[in-house]
């Protein structure tokens, strides 16, 4: 499973990138706002740091304007994935931009039918939002499983990018179902390293080591 980091905070991306944990990055208008940075500048900086796809989102609502914005974002670097919303206009923009050879991430996907349309429009990635479905008491994981089944039924190459991952359990379940990619905030990726038995075991080892009176260095 590929790990994308869902943030525009370059210091946090750098820390995970140094560990080899970053296969790509996703941003959105809310994350750009949070970073306080200029979208073109920060996207360029991230694209230079990371080898994999860096998603940058258009903000126009009409297809022709989305296409123009998408071309401008794609011109920042060769590893930009243009993010378009899953609307009819977004699908039109996806078809044109992917036809021009750009990677396209179709975002704000909340149903398997939407995912089917995105694949037919040539999306490189489809981003089903797990956490936001859970927020309204729907099962985000069921959506990932449904899209996996449908894409496999017909051999669609669009990659399932499990998004809006809020917990380590979301990450585990998305991997278990077979999502191609997950995008998660740095805090969730770091939390995946934690286990109470690891902490408890380490405490015991440290206490026993202290009693030996030995040193390694």
Residue with Cβ nearer ligand E4P (192 or 202): 192
| Encoded tokens for 164 | 């809006």
Query: 215 catalytic, yes or no?
Result: no
Among 129, 146, 151, 179, binds ligand E4P (CB under 6 A): 129
Give residues 57-76 in contact with ligand E4P (rule: CB under 6 A).
none
Point out which residues pair with 83 in neighbouring strands.
57, 105
Of 110-118, 148-156, 163-171, 194-202: span binding ligand E4P (CB under 6 A): 163-171
Contact between 9 and ligand E4P by CB under 6 A: the answer reads no
- How far apart CA 127 and CA 106 sit, in angstroms, is 6
Residue written as tokens 């994350």? 31
Active-site choice (34, 62, 83, 92): 83
Instruction: Please name which of 138, 189, 134 lies closest in space to residue 164, comparing C-alpha atoms.
Output: 134
Contact (CB, 8 A) for 61 and 29: no
Contact between 10 and ligand E4P by CB under 6 A: the answer reads no
Among 17, 98, 124, 164, binds ligand E4P (CB under 6 A): 164
Of 59-67, 128-136, 168-176, 205-213: span binding ligand E4P (CB under 6 A): 128-136
- The secondary structure of residue 1, as a DSSP letter, is -
Contact between 163 and ligand E4P by CB under 6 A: the answer reads yes
Which residue number has the CB closest to ligand E4P?
Answer: 164
Contact between 52 and ligand E4P by CB under 6 A: the answer reads no
- How far apart CA 54 and CA 45 sit, in angstroms, is 10
Contact between 132 and ligand E4P by CB under 6 A: the answer reads yes
| Encoded tokens for 143 | 């959506």
- How far apart CA 57 and CA 180 sit, in angstroms, is 20
- How far apart CA 44 and CA 51 sit, in angstroms, is 12
Contact (CB, 8 A) for 119 and 159: no
Contact between 44 and ligand E4P by CB under 6 A: the answer reads no
Residues contributing to the site for ligand E4P (CB under 6 A): 6, 26, 28, 107, 127, 129, 131-132, 163-164, 166, 183
Residues with catalytic roles: 83
């Amino acid at each position: 499973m590929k790990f994308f980091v869902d943030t525009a905070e370059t210091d946090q991306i750098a820390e995970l990138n140094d560990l080899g944990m970053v296969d790509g990055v996703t941003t959105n208008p809310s994350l750009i706002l949070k970073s306080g940075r200029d979208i073109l500048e920060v996207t360029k900086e991230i694209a230079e740091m990371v080898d994999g796809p860096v998603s940058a989102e258009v903000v126009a609502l009409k297809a022709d304007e989305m296409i123009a914005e998408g071309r401008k974002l794609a011109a920042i670097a060769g590893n930009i994935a243009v993010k378009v919303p899953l609307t009819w206009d977004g699908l039109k923009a996806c078809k044109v931009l992917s036809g021009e050879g750009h990677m396209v991430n179709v975002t704000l996907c909340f149903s398997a039918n939407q995912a089917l349309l995105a694949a037919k429009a040539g999306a490189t990635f489809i981003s089903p939002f797990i956490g936001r479905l859970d927020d309204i008491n729907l099962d985000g994981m069921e959506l990932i499983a449904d899209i996996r089944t449908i894409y496999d039924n017909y051999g669609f190459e669009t990659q399932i990018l499990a998004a809006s991952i809020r917990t380590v359990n979301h990450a585990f379940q998305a991997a278990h179902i077979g999502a191609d990619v997950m995008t998660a905030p740095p805090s969730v990726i770091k939390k995946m390293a934690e286990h109470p038995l690891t902490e408890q075991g380490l405490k015991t080892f440290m206490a026993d080591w202290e009693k030996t009176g030995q040193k390694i260095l």
